[in-house]
Structure 1
């Protein structure tokens, strides 16, 4: 009888988990169409492995997304805004990160720009995705402050939005995420030069809100990390990468909150400097 009871309880646990849906917030870096084309197949795969539904959620701009994330509206997130002081109350916990080389904050200009050095940006407009972006705002702004320079920030809504403005000549320079720019340039045929490069930082983390059951977090984490080693998963990753021109390696690797301590510190410095 005990064995039957355990089986019955296990069955009802499986049914309750399988019936659950969890929101998966993705920081707005690209258009909604590209974001959906990249993430929906990945989330469908992971959800099928875990017996849950993962629903892609984002916002029109990175600023709107960041505000919702700070309120803890998403169950899972792909975002480094969780490292900002404004997001501390939401208490998202890092569980994985995108595989591949580190990312860099860069200040870039079009290839044919007459600007040759960082000092030439003094007093000029400089584009950024939004004022919560890490490598696209925090890191380059910290470098500008350290150099004693003042610029006029122009915000583009998301990473590729400000890159489009740079490409169109609406702004002379932009602070960007190196990896997102590399992929954008490959798709759009955009040639650029780097005026400044940050130290390397870990790519954006995947994190879970404390309200998500630990069993679900563990299952989602395992499915993400194991995806690249599974033939169907590898095929999906490759197809998603082709959408945004993402170079290998693809997939996700394990990560913990402590590995992002240096990014939290940069956020803290800028938050203090800007009086937020």
Structure 2
């Protein structure tokens, strides 16, 4: 079976990651793109999803790469049209949206895939296996990057529902909730919100595992120079460090794995498998932690930020 896919939202993440990944993966082919401001070569181009659905009646799946604020309506439209749906992370602006989409996918007997690309980083599976045999005592997360480099000219990330620094930070939470084999609760949060923005540029979270291990987390979008994507885990039998977003693993200070980024091809192989089985893969755990941070976090106004 060859999945005929259409992609909605031809922005930076689609060009940098989705298009090359689709080309690498067997069983799926991009046949159309819907975008207000851009066009892709070698496929049919449409201004929006409605036009794409009308022009491509044989489309099997829709890949959604627009900002999270508008993703729910588009995903619902695609599911109602009988299409399988791939959601870029975060899967929606709210938990309730994602739950509603999951219920609709079940009703339509279609695939809904809430993708968390950082879970497919090379060393995440090995880290999860190593932690499973140990008692976690403490976790420290440092996720610091330069918003000007990764999100140039994208005002939606600073608007309500755009997540701000949680757009990259939720990647760390997606790894955390994957490798720790027990529920995680949010205890406290401080959100640094620039005076001219509606979403945070920095965040400090205090969390804990169900068994009581402390999790200290710092997200910052103002880092220049080398970027930091580290998760350090102390256990009753050694220490673990996931760095480079989960592609490098150190155990007790010694490098065990260092691999290139192949996250998106791995996600598309997963999507092909889900579509073949008409299965659903939607985990809202990372999104719930972000929602909790916005619910109970203390807002700390900070200086205006110009990007």
Give the TM bin, normalised by the shorter chain.
0.3 to 0.5
TM-score w.r.t. length of structure 1:
0.36
Larger relative helix fraction: 1
Larger relative strand fraction: 2
- Larger relative contact order (Cα-Cα within 8 Å, sequence gap ≥ 6): 1
